[in-house]
Amino acid sequence: MDPKHLYYLSVIVQYGSLSKASEHLGVVQPTLTRIVKVLENKVGAPLLTRGRHGMSPTELGENLAAAGSAIAEQMEAAAGAAERWRSGHGEELRVGVGPMLARCAMSTLLEKFLAERWPYHLNLISATAGNLVNHLNADEVDVVIAPSLINMHQESLRQEIVLRDRMAIYGGAKAELHGSPSVIPIAKLVGRPWVAVGAFSSIHKSPKELLDHIGLTGTVTSVIFTGDVSMCLELLRSTSVLVMLPEKLADACPDIRGHKLRVDAPMPARDIAFWSTKANQDRPQIQHFKKQVKAWLDGMFVDEGPPSTP
C-alpha cells in the first residue's frame, strides 16, 4: 500500500471534499478519485461515503486515514529536521522543565538561546517532576531541569544540583498578614486556608508532612494543583490563601513579588537539579546545555544560606 496514497486519503477525510483536498494537495480531482479506487481495490471494501454534507470515511477508511495522518506528521518532522539542519540547528535536544521554573524563569534562558544560536534545536515540555523523570526513563526527553531528591530510586539516572533553594510561605493579597514587615510566629498560620502546588505536593513529602515539619500540625490543604501554577498565582492575587513555594523561583516571578511572609520556622530545602541518563550524560549537546544552564542560574540567582544536603 503506497504511503502517499494513505496521506492523500487522510487529506480527503480531513476536508470532507475531493475538491478542497485537490486544492490543498495541488492534485487534480480525477487523480484523487483514482487513488481512492486503488486503495478500495486493495482492501476490498469502500473507504468513503458521500452524503449531504460532503464525504465521510467508513470505519475502515477512518483507520487508514489515521495511518495517513501519522505519515503526514512524519513528513512534517522530516521537513523540520531538514530545515533545522540548513539553519545550523541540526541536532534536537528534548528538555523537560518543572512548572515553576517554566513559569517564572525559563524565558530568560530561551532569550539567551535565541540570541546566541546554540548548535541544536530545543524541544521543550513542562510537567510535574515525577512525570518528567518518567519521560526521561522512557527516552522521551534527553534532559530534565526539576527538583532534586524525588522519592524514587533511579539507578539509571544522574542528577546534579544546579540551584540551591528552599521553600517559603506566600500569602494572598487579602490575607490578614499580607505585607507584614515583621517576623510572623508560625502558630499564627494555623487554621488559615492553604493550597498546594506540585513543587509542594509530591517532591519531598506530602503537603501534610511538610506543614507538620514547620510546626503547622493538623493543617489541611483545601486545593492541590498538579502540573500548573497559574491558578495558584491567580488565587494569591485575589484571595487570602497561603501556599509554600520555592523561594528563589517564586521571587523571580513578578506575579508573586510582595506576597512572601517572614516566619519564625526553618524551611525545608527545595533544590533544582539537572537530570540526565547515565548513558547519555556525556553527549556534547547535553554537556553544552548543562554548562549554559549553570551559567544562567548562577547569573540569575544569588545563593543564600548554607547549601542543603543533596
Domains of the chain: 3-86 (1.10.10.10), 91-164+271-300 (3.40.190.10), 167-261 (3.40.190.10)
Give every CB contact of residue 232 below 8 A, 6+ residues apart in sequence: 195, 197, 225, 243
CA 30 – CA 190 distance, rounded (Å): 75
Q: pLDDT per residue over 106-158, tens digit each?
A: 999 999 999 998 888 899 999 888 888 889 989 999 999 998 865 555 788 99
Task: Round to the nearest angstrom and report the end-to-end CA distance of the chain.
Answer: 55
Q: Which burial class, exposed, middle or buried, applies to 136 when counting CB atoms under 10 A from its CB (0-12, 13-18, 19+)?
A: buried
Cell of 293: 544552564
Asked if 128 and 196 touch (Cβ cutoff 8 Å), the reply is: no
Give every CB contact of residue 61 below 8 A, 6+ residues apart in sequence: 9, 13, 46, 47, 48
Asked if 120 and 90 touch (Cβ cutoff 8 Å), the reply is: yes
Cell of 134: 518518567
Q: Angle at the Cα of 147 (from 146 to 148), degrees rounded to 5?
A: 120
- H or E element in which residue 43 lies: helix 29-43
Q: pLDDT per residue over 194-243, tens digit each?
A: 988 864 444 456 777 788 888 888 788 888 888 788 898 899 999 999 99
Tell me, yes or no, if the pTM score tops 0.85: no
Residue 77: phi, psi to the nearest 5?
-65, -40
